[in-house]
Structure formats: structure tokens, C-alpha cells
Structure 1
Amino acid sequence: MTTPSVTDRMSAEPAGPDREAAFVHALDVLADRRDEFNAQGYVSKDFVALLKKAGMYRASTPAQFGGEPMAPSDFMRLVERVSAVDPATGWVASFGSSLVYFAALPVETQRKIYAAGPDLAYAGGLFPMQEAEKVDGGYVCSGVWQFASGCRGADILGIGLAGGPQTAGKPLTALVDPADVEIVENWDVAGMKATGSHAVRADGVFVPDEMTFVRGGEPQIDEPLTRYPALAYAAQVLAVVTLGAARGALDYAIEVGSSRTSITGGASKGNRSTYKIGVAEAEAELRAAQTFFYGTTDTVWAKAVAAIEISVEEQALLRLAATHAAHAGRRVVLRAFDLAGTGAIYQTHPLQRFLQDALVPAQHAMLQTNTYEAAGALLLGLEAGIPSFP
């Protein structure tokens, strides 16, 4: 595999005030361009560059390769802030966490990938897992893979391969250069349009063994972030998008409710008992979900930093907190939509972006209702009943 597309990567601003200013600037630009991204169906690569300047794409690069790994809560609070402006862009930004998977690659491969810099945008179209031809030194890959969120702005792509005897049956992710595959534009959806989660097609692409890894496999790098449960983190970074969407929708409801009069000249919406109760209940549900979500994250992170074993029960709580966040956040957005009344049904209404996007995360396989059952089973000492859970 060659990597010409990553030889001139954008670099993050220095940590501190410059980087925070870059992040705030990105949010300002996003507020101006979110309709553009939604209309075109993807987040433009030049905006991904702004997120790189804000440090979001070095947040899971190992420190030994120039990264500045962030504590999961710190990173996810950034994703939440992006999602409060535009959830679909928050979804794309969340994959700044996904380089934790690369820790399962040989160390020399990781050194090669990060040689051009630690700010790397990765997107994966992993399903359905395809049978690849095993040849000397690697795999010849052909097929179509779905749901490659952020592929239009990615520096490197992953495709899913069915495992074999050499992987003890575990599926593999193969890393390919975007120039070596085709993006199939089939992302025609009602929500999360701007994620650009198109399909990826490969036709006889050779991938060396050293550019493949088991997703969530044994890390070859020992740093706190590589000790944190990778698959649970993958669920969390998607769930937190819904918390951001809920914050954005509820802030809008509060702003509208604070107006002194309604459009009809009568009492303002905020003076109606149903509106006041609705805002209060939604605020309580959102803050409760955030507390469970970040509190559980910080408890497990402290163990990762101290190199203390993280129990199955603790991993199950991470998954439970993620599922709860996705579903609670969706309920908050629906409450804000209900409070807004008839006007919110128009496509141009400000709540529509939050409504359409916030319905999606809880539909994801890692956050669907059955993950509640799986988490409950583990807390009861039973089998989860879902592969690769927690």
C-alpha cells in the first residue's frame, strides 16, 4: 500500500489557547456551512482540516508517534460541542478516536502510517465482511463495503475481511489508500446526511499482511488509551453525538421560550405550563444521562491510566451508559420538537437538523435496544448474547 494522500497532512495548532481558538473557529465556520454539508451529503475535506488544526485527529494517535492522546471524556466533550452545532459533523469528528484500533498493527507499520504526521483522518467501511484471496504476503481484496462515514474527507480507509485460520476466525480490517478504491455514492438517507457514509468498492486491491489488524485486537503499543476498552469507546463516541444534538435542540427551545410574546401576540410559549415542565424535564434527563455517561467513562479511564485491569462489569457499564445516552438524547430532542409546535414540521425549521440526525445513533448496531439486554445479562453474570460485546 502506498500513502500519497497523507504526505501533506494538516497539523494541529499548539496545545493551549491557540488550539482552543482553532476549535472555536471551526465551530463558527460549521454554523455557517452546516446547511452546505447537509445539501451536498458530506463534510468537506477543508473543514476536516479545520478539525485537524483543533487537534481532533491526533487525539488517539499514540504519543510515541507524535500524537497527543486525549482522555476519552475530554475528547467526547469536544464531539458533543461539535454535535450541538451539527450532529452529522459531530459524527464525522468522532472518528478522531478510531486510531486506537491501529494499535493492533505491527509497531513498524504504525511508524510508517504516522511518518507524515499524527493528524490522520480514518474512515472504515467494514460490512459486509468480504472473503479476500490470501496470497503470499497479504490479501487480494474485491467487493463492496457499506457505511464508510466520513470517507470523502479521509486520509486512509479500512475495509472488512472475513477471518480465517490465521486469525482464529476473527475478522480483519485492511487499510487501503483512498486512491486505490472507488467511493460508491449510495448514501440516500433522511438523517445524518452530511456524514457521507457511502460504500467503498475495491477491485483486486492488494493489501500486505502488515496493513491488516483485528478490530479491537491486542494492542502492540502500551499507553493509557490503548488500555481503555476499544469497542466500548467506539460505541461511546457515537452515542455522545446524540447528547450534543439534544443540547442543541434544547438550547433552541429555551431561546424560543424566553421570548416575551408569541407570534400571535399572546403569552410567550415559555409562559405556558406545559412548556416550562417540558424544558425542565428534558434538562433533567439530559444532565442525568451526561452524568452517568461521563462518570462511568472517568472511572474506567482512571483504571486505564493506572494500568489496573478493567472488569467485564465495568465494560458493560460503559456500553450501558452509551446506549442510555443515545436513547435519552433522542427523547430530549423529541421533547424539544414537541414543544416547538406546528412550525417545526417544516424542513427549514432549525430543529429539523437535530431531529433528523438524533434519530440515527440509537439505530446503530452498537446502540440499539438489544444492547440494553446484553448489558443487563453481563451485570447478571450471564452471556451477553451479542458477538464482541462488551
Structure 2
Amino acid sequence: MPTTNMTPTTRSAHTTAGAPPTHTALAAAAGRAAELAAESATAADSGNRLSPAVAEALVDAGFARHLVGERWGGSAARRGAVQDLAQALATVGAGCMSAAWCGGVLAAVGRMCSHLPEEGQHELWGDGPDVPLAGSLAPSGVVREVPGGWRLSGTWDFASGVDHAHWTMVGGMVRGADDAPALRHFVLPSRAYTVLDTWHNVGLRGTGSNSLLVDDVFVPTHRSFAHHTVLMGEPDAAAPRLHRVPLKLINGLFFVAPGIGAVEGALHAWTEWTAKRVEVNGVRTSSRPGVRLTLARAAASVGAARLLVERAAAEADEAEVTHALTLSTTRDYSTAVDLLLDAVNGLLRMSGARGQARSSPIQRVWRDVHCMAGHAALQPDVNADAWARHALGEE
């Protein structure tokens, strides 16, 4: 499958005219990781996790450091960082969406952990920013406040890449202002938890999104931060822009961009295969009007999805951040997902029984994209409703 070229776009009026191209090395470095990921995509799918070599290649490419602050050697402060990330995720996703998903998690958790107190950041990145991280965002387990920090016990699910992580971030509910429950995040070294073999999913199997078991582990204050600081953005004006923007402005990109690469790769593979196919009656499959229509629609749909995500990435890098922009961006992420679903559904339908074989990349991408579409950040009704209420003046 080919790599993709998600060229930055500045179509939106929100975006600074003449914004420079990406300035980080991630998109170029992602090529090697993409090759390894594509070679072992089938093994990752059947084995329910990435190989150590692919996991290491993602870190070597720079996904883990990408949204970490420059003080620790990361790229978060460089212009074009989000556009570069989108391109890199699509490049890896063209061969293995699970690998690209894990690359996105490396970057996303690195950005979130940048909200730790300085002592906590130093503990993670004092020896360098290329630290493999995993995360389980949803609150779970039992969190008990004690002098100097908290004690955690319980099970946290869906920690993509946890088998290869050195640290994993988990969420738990604590008492916030006025004793109201508040979500807080805690960062644990790999020695503090046990990884459970729980990830047996229909798609995105290679992400290895297993559970972790924590048994009365102490987490000091410097390895914890409140969720609202990430959700609303870091208020410190000296922090990099990408640590100050609202989480929802970029959250969907970590998951949609891998899907764009995956569907483009599937489209390429399907087109090459279909050009050679012959029906049982001897007629070339490509001569069927329905097949040609499927090809055209799939290409247009994935192209439109790519344009939406490119624009969102450019705006995250350069645009004035407003509430309206955040709402329209989340709306567009969900719309891009719908377009990808339309494309991959058409490809599988016109692939027949051979396209459903375990050896077919079409069925793997079909499964992966449908699982991506179920992510909480990409739900169409929630994101559409939030934008529509704002547009209608109902907020």
C-alpha cells in the first residue's frame, strides 16, 4: 500500500495566510516506521499487538516526542507540528492502521503528560523525550487521597500500546471544588501494574489495547494532574501553543488521520486488484458500471475526508482559537469519519468473497475504520449537536 501525502492547506479564513510548511522531521521519519508496520500488519492483526520492532520504530520516528515541550527535546513549539503529525499518521496508517493509532496515542499522551508539574515531567523526560507512553483516559478503579499523593487500585481498560510502554497514564475520580467529583490523571511506571490480556476486538487488533491491573500503588502529587487543565488548555502564556489549546481542537485528529491513510491504502490495493479481476463469464470486473462508480465515490470520499482533516490541522497550528472553531473542528472530524465509512463500505461490497478473506487488506481496513468510528471523540450526534446549538444561538 502507498504512503499518503497530506499536504497542509490554508483554505480556511481562520488560518493565517501564507502559513509556512511543516517544520518538524516527523513526517519524513515516519516512512521507515510505515514500511515495518506494513510488513507486519497481518501479524499484528492476528497477534493482537504490534511487534516490538514496530513499536520501537514509532518511537524512533518521533511520535513520542512530537508534542512534548522543547525544554525536554520535543517538537510541540514548532510551527506546523499538527500538520506534520497528521501527515505522519496517515503515512503509517496506509500500511497498518493499528500502528498509526499507537503513534497517535504516543503523541496524545505526551501532550497530556506535559501538564504534569515540572518534577513529574523531569521524571518522564529528564533523560530524553523518546519515552513510550500509553494511556487509559476513562475514569476507573479506586483512588484514595493520602499524604503526598494518592493510592490507586483497580483495573483500567483500553490502554493502546501498553505492552510496550514505559509509563501509562490512567484516570480516576477525586474530590474537586466544592467536593464535586472531578477527573484526574495519574502516571504510573510499568513496574507498578500488570498488563492483562483482554484485547480481543473485531478491529484495530494490533493496537494491543489491553487492560492494566493496579494493586494499591502510591502515586506522588508530581505525577498527577487535573483533567480540566488539558480540556481547557494550559493557561500559562509561556507554554507552547499546542499545550494551551482546548483538547477537543486536536483530539479527533489522533484517530481520524490513521483512518485516512488506511482507506487510501485500501483504495490503492483494491484498484490494482480490480484492474486484474475477471468475472466467471470472462468479462473484466472493471468494465462493470457499479465497480467504476464505487471507485469514483470512494476516491472522492477519502479525498474529501483528507481535506477536512488537513484544514483542521492547519487551523490547530495557526488559527485564532475560539469556541466556534473548536466546535466546527469536532464536527468536521465526525464528518470525515462518515466519509471514510462510505468509502470503505463501498470497497468491501464490491470485493466479493475474496475481499472478505483473512488475507485481504480490504476487510482488515473495513474492520479497523468501523472500530475507529466508535471512539467517543468522534460520535456524530454529540459533535453535531454541540456545533448546531452554537450556530443556532441556543447556548
TM-score when scaled to structure 1?
A: 0.86
Q: Which position in structure 2 is the counterpart of 1:8?
A: none
Q: Which position in structure 2 is the counterpart of 1:330?
A: 341
Q: Contact conserved, 1:84 with 1:245, CA < 8 A, in 2?
A: yes
- Equivalent residue in structure 1 for 2:192, among 180, 197, 207: 180
Displacement of 1:324 in angstroms is 1.3
Q: Which position in structure 1 is the counterpart of 2:272?
A: 255
Q: Contact conserved, 2:305 with 2:337, CA < 8 A, in 1?
A: no
- Equivalent residue in structure 1 for 2:183, among 153, 171, 174: 171
Q: Which position in structure 2 is the counterpart of 1:80?
A: 90
Supply the distance in 2 between the matched residues of 1:190 and 1:247 (Cα, whole angstroms).
21
1:205-244 pair list within 5 angstroms: 205-215=217-227, 217=229, 218-219=233-234, 222-244=239-261
Q: Which position in structure 1 is the counterpart of 2:69?
A: 62
Displacement of 1:348 in angstroms is 2.3
Supply the distance in 1 between the matched residues of 2:228 and 2:286 (Cα, whole angstroms).
48
Matched, 1:135 2:151: no
1:249-288 pair list within 5 angstroms: 249-259=266-276, 262=278, 264=280, 266-288=282-304
Displacement of 1:22 in angstroms is 4.8
Q: Contact conserved, 2:263 with 2:344, CA < 8 A, in 1?
A: yes
Displacement of 1:21 in angstroms is 6.7
Q: Which position in structure 2 is the counterpart of 1:382?
A: 394
Q: Percent identity?
A: 23
Q: Contact conserved, 1:57 with 1:96, CA < 8 A, in 2?
A: yes
Task: Tell me the secondary structure at the aligned position of residue 136 of structure 2.
Answer: strand
Task: Tell me the secondary structure at the aligned position of residue 128 of structure 2.
Answer: coil
Supply the distance in 1 between the matched residues of 2:226 and 2:100 (Cα, whole angstroms).
26
- Equivalent residue in structure 2 for 1:297, among 295, 304, 313: 313
Q: Which amino acid aligns with 1:370?
A: D
Distance 1:216 1:74, change over 3 A: farther
Displacement of 1:173 in angstroms is 0.7
Supply the distance in 1 between the matched residues of 2:218 and 2:359 (Cα, whole angstroms).
46
Matched, 1:104 2:115: yes
Q: Which position in structure 1 is the counterpart of 2:13?
A: none
Distance 1:214 1:200, change over 3 A: same
- The unaligned stretches of length 5 or more in structure 2 are 1-23
Q: Which amino acid aligns with 1:280?
A: A
Q: Which amino acid aligns with 2:283?
A: A
How large is the Cα RMSD of the aligned pairs? 2.2
Q: Contact conserved, 1:129 with 1:171, CA < 8 A, in 2?
A: no
Displacement of 1:285 in angstroms is 1.4
Q: Which position in structure 2 is the counterpart of 1:3?
A: none
Q: Contact conserved, 1:337 with 1:344, CA < 8 A, in 2?
A: yes
Q: Which position in structure 2 is the counterpart of 1:50?
A: 57
Task: Tell me the secondary structure at the aligned position of residue 394 of structure 2.
Answer: coil
Q: Contact conserved, 1:34 with 1:86, CA < 8 A, in 2?
A: yes
Q: Which position in structure 1 is the counterpart of 2:167?
A: 156
Distance 1:299 1:32, change over 3 A: closer
Distance 1:72 1:257, change over 3 A: same
Q: Contact conserved, 1:162 with 1:171, CA < 8 A, in 2?
A: yes
Task: Tell me the secondary structure at the aligned position of residue 328 of structure 1.
Answer: helix
Q: Which position in structure 1 is the counterpart of 2:19?
A: none
Distance 1:103 1:287, change over 3 A: same
Q: Contact conserved, 1:246 with 1:333, CA < 8 A, in 2?
A: yes
- Equivalent residue in structure 1 for 2:361, among 332, 350, 353: 350
Q: Which position in structure 2 is the counterpart of 1:340?
A: 351
Q: Which runs of 4+ in 1 moved over 4 A?
A: 19-22
Supply the distance in 1 between the matched residues of 2:328 and 2:243 (Cα, whole angstroms).
19
Distance 1:379 1:236, change over 3 A: farther
TM-score when scaled to structure 2?
A: 0.85
Distance 1:180 1:71, change over 3 A: same
| Deviation sequence 1:306-354 (CA, Å, 0-9, x none) | xx4x111100111111111222112211111112123222222221211
Q: Contact conserved, 1:243 with 1:290, CA < 8 A, in 2?
A: yes
Supply the distance in 2 between the matched residues of 1:365 and 1:190 (Cα, whole angstroms).
17
Displacement of 1:48 in angstroms is 1.6
Q: Which amino acid aligns with 2:263?
A: A
Q: Contact conserved, 2:135 with 2:170, CA < 8 A, in 1?
A: yes
Q: Which position in structure 1 is the counterpart of 2:8?
A: none
Supply the distance in 1 between the matched residues of 2:205 and 2:54 (Cα, whole angstroms).
16
- The unaligned stretches of length 5 or more in structure 1 are 1-14, 384-390
Q: Which position in structure 1 is the counterpart of 2:205?
A: 193
Supply the distance in 1 between the matched residues of 2:199 and 2:301 (Cα, whole angstroms).
32
